[in-house]
Amino acid sequence: MRSIFCATTVFAAVFSQAPAARADAIRVGYAGSMGVVMDRVLGPAFEKAHGVQFQGIGMGAYALARLLAAKQQQADVFVSITPGPVKIVQEAGLLGEGVPVASTQMVITYSPKSRFAPQFEAAAAGRTPWWQVLKSPGLRFGRTDPAIDPQGQNIIFAMQLAERYYNQPDLVSTILGSYQNPTQIFTEPSLLTRLEGAQIDAASGYQSATISHHLPYVPLPDEINLSNPDKVADWYGKVEFTIKLPSGKETTFHTQPLVFYAGVLRNAKNPELGKKFIDFLLSPEGQKLFRDSGYAEPKGGKI
């Protein structure tokens, strides 16, 4: 099994080292939060079942989608969180259907080595408001870049919803600062590494990735965690924000359900193997491996 974790800023170096496609290998590009379940669980299980090599490419889903759409990266299968990155590749004519394969929800994860860990434990038990802990002086919070990663957008949506839900109009500015506050933004692999090493105290997270990394977390109510499709139209949809992308173009983002979608790329080197991989993700064995890694069942229909 081989895997490639990378961020946009270091893509050129990684790409130059990318392994060539082989008839007996499958290349899967996936949302960076899925690193553990893809490279340690699903990939090895697929290798064992089919006698092929699994080559994983983990990256912020929007960044990876743009690279795939520009044909600067190649894969057999693309697995994204939220519909947005899937649509980028579809609009480039390189992807047909996106099939829901799993789902998750937003949480606040924290370092067990942090000096604020007792306060977060109290928040997880419902004894103190989680947002009050995040406002503690000196607390170091981390998140991903909203310009290239859906999780970076989803923590902004979660804070905007928390402002409304708790009637606390200053939560976004107090806890996050600006939408693209450079002191809080890290690549996803770096974010988890810093959290595990207590270089930061808390971070945004998906419940699935947090459980996969065996990190403690504070669950959020349905009104904030973006997991309930029934709340998209009349509650989640009330928030949005606008930022400038790396291209210089300003874009307004809207909430999307936290569902993982998979599809076979139309320029796949091994499309039949790609279809078998998606079938495996949807099989009873694949779904059990997802559940054992902290993921919830697929929600909604194909996109």
The predicted pLDDT at position 16 comes to: 37
The predicted pLDDT at position 15 comes to: 39
The predicted pLDDT at position 165 comes to: 96
The Cα-based distances of 49 to 23, 196, 277 in angstroms read: 16, 33, 10
pTM of the entire structure? 0.77
- Paired strand residues for 49: none
The predicted pLDDT at position 88 comes to: 95
Query: pLDDT digit of tens for each residue in the chain (303 aa)?
Result: 544 444 333 333 333 344 444 558 999 999 988 988 999 999 999 999 999 999 999 988 888 999 999 999 999 999 998 888 999 999 999 999 999 999 999 999 999 999 999 999 999 999 999 999 999 999 999 999 998 888 899 999 999 999 999 999 999 999 999 999 999 999 877 888 888 888 999 999 999 888 888 899 999 998 999 988 778 888 999 999 999 887 888 999 999 888 899 999 999 999 999 999 999 999 999 999 999 988 998 988 888
The predicted pLDDT at position 230 comes to: 78
The predicted pLDDT at position 11 comes to: 38
The predicted pLDDT at position 211 comes to: 87
The predicted pLDDT at position 300 comes to: 81
The predicted pLDDT at position 22 comes to: 53
